[in-house]
Amino acid sequence: MHITIINDCRDNNVVNRQITRTASIFNTSVNVVGIKTDLEAAGNLIDTIDAMGEASGIVLVNVAPRSKEAWWLNTTQKQNIKNHEDKNKNGTAFAHFYYKNILIISTISGLTLSLVKKFRLITEINVIDIPKTLEKTVKAKLISKNLANQIKNSQFRSFDFLPRAAKWITEDQKLISSRKIKINTIPDAPKSIWWIDNFGNCKTTLLKEDINIKNKVVKTKKGEISFVPRLADVGERKAAMIQGSSGFGDKRFLEIVVQGGNAAKILTLYPGDKIL
């Protein structure tokens, strides 16, 4: 089993602490993906689930919502998240769910689960009541009352709570106090860039079915861009939209690239920029 942590706490000190604690609890390999925004977390979560395939694994996601679209879409959704926050009283709520053999525990505010929703991987999530869960684990003599109080008030819950919660779920889900909400209460993913790689290629939330290709051209907020299926077929120093490597199954995110150049710099693109 492998564990991936996706977290906006990404400096060397906190990365080391998260890896060390999680590896110590599970005695398995752990890696960390450092991200800045909830939309970056959303894309990396899809890529991680896709990479794990049929294997058993755990993904721990923690990010504060920072995207402009990070607010719930209607009054009902706002009330849902307010209810979750009121129960936890210490930051955004966490939820857990399984996709096949992969356990995912994630913060739920903002766009973090928007691409899980887009790919229809699940229909509902289990929102964790942290105080009640800690009461259960104290009663089961898994932790002390002092440690439970420390976890409940921690400013670093992805270190103090998430690895332990993953362990409790894998051993006995009854230790976790939670309630179900439908995935449709999560906001839709915007038609935006979610990641820029080290080559300057811009990964978008778009699939081929999301765009209108006319005369091999796509109209975007950055003007008309040629659509070319493969990077190898893009002309030298030319910009194009291609089908990239990220995504899930046979559905791959579209990318904006410049053959032999840095698309992000040349076209002035940033994570979160809307494309359509």
Tokens of 28: 């398995």
**Average pLDDT for residues 76-97, to the nearest whole number?**
68
Domain spanning 2-185, CATH architecture:
3-Layer(aba) Sandwich (3.40)
Residue 260 burial by Cβ neighbours in a 10 Å radius (0-12, 13-18, 19+) = exposed
- What is the C-alpha to C-alpha distance for residues 107 and 112, in angstroms, rounded to an integer? 7
pLDDT tens for each residue of 197-238: 999 999 999 999 999 999 999 999 989 999 998 999 999 999
pLDDT tens for each residue of 152-190: 999 999 999 999 999 999 999 999 999 999 999 899 999
According to DSSP, residue 235 is labeled P
pLDDT at 83: 58
86 pLDDT above the threshold of 70 = no
Query: Residue ranges per domain, the chain?
Result: 2-185, 193-266
pLDDT at 49: 98
CB 134 within 8 A of CB 177: no
Domain spanning 193-266, CATH architecture:
Beta Barrel (2.40)
**Average pLDDT for residues 36-51, to the nearest whole number?**
97
